[in-house]
Structure 1
């Protein structure tokens, strides 16, 4: 992978990290998906940033349980699902294509199926151990 591509991954990682931190403060932004994106970008961009990010309290508090155990708190799940629903609703109401609307509804159904059946729900106390 070229240095430019790795640099872009690092830049996108820091942007996602910033949005994830904002998500902790602002209820309209979900934290976990942005931090997952940041983690992915740091893994692709630099071993140094990957190790740094995985050593932060932010990673340990919000992602470590999900990465290791494929589990989230109900609050995390709801934040992600609701944010995604809002993002999917925008093109659903703007576009006139019936096929696109059906596709978007199928995506929402699959998203809920996946979050309910494939990702375990753990109590809040299991994640917030400092």
Structure 2
């Protein structure tokens, strides 16, 4: 059972990695969160894939600063925030529940608070 779970982490890691690479080309997909998910999955799934991923230029260019310094560029922050806003807006406008809309609005407010005050903005 443990091997199956590790295998699933590796599969999800590679799917996230592929989508993250697509995010470099397509502005609709956020690169950084997908690469963070890939990194997390590789850590959980395989030490070998974790070492490999952390040695790539992709990791060093897009994640290393965030992982070490808890910092992102303004462009990275905006792409994540805008993508998340679009994803949150879909159920916000589709659903009629006031409670769900209030929870989604609170999530958006917290998300902005977190990105503005908890994650440093760097210039490179």
Instruction: Give 5+ residue unaligned stretches, structure 1.
Output: 125-130
Q: CA deviation at 1:15?
A: 0.2
1:85-104 counterparts in 2 under 5 A?
Answer: 85-104=85-104
Q: CA deviation at 1:48?
A: 0.3
Question: What secondary structure sits across from 2:28 in the alignment?
Answer: coil
Q: TM-score, normalised by structure 1?
A: 0.94
| Structure 2 stretches lacking a partner, 5+ long | none
Moved over 6 A (4+): none
Map of 1:63 onto structure 2: 63
Shift of 1:106: 0.2
- 1:114 aligned onto 2:118: no
Q: In 2, Cα distance between the equivalents of 1:94 and 1:64?
A: 37
Separation in structure 2 between the aligned mates of residue 110 and residue 13 of structure 1, nearest angstrom: 27
Task: State the distance in 1 between where 2:14 and 2:91 align.
Answer: 27
Partner Cα distance (1:16, 1:96) in 2: 32
**Separation in 2, partners of 1:69, 1:119:** 9
- Residue in structure 1 matched with residue 51 of structure 2 by the alignment: 51
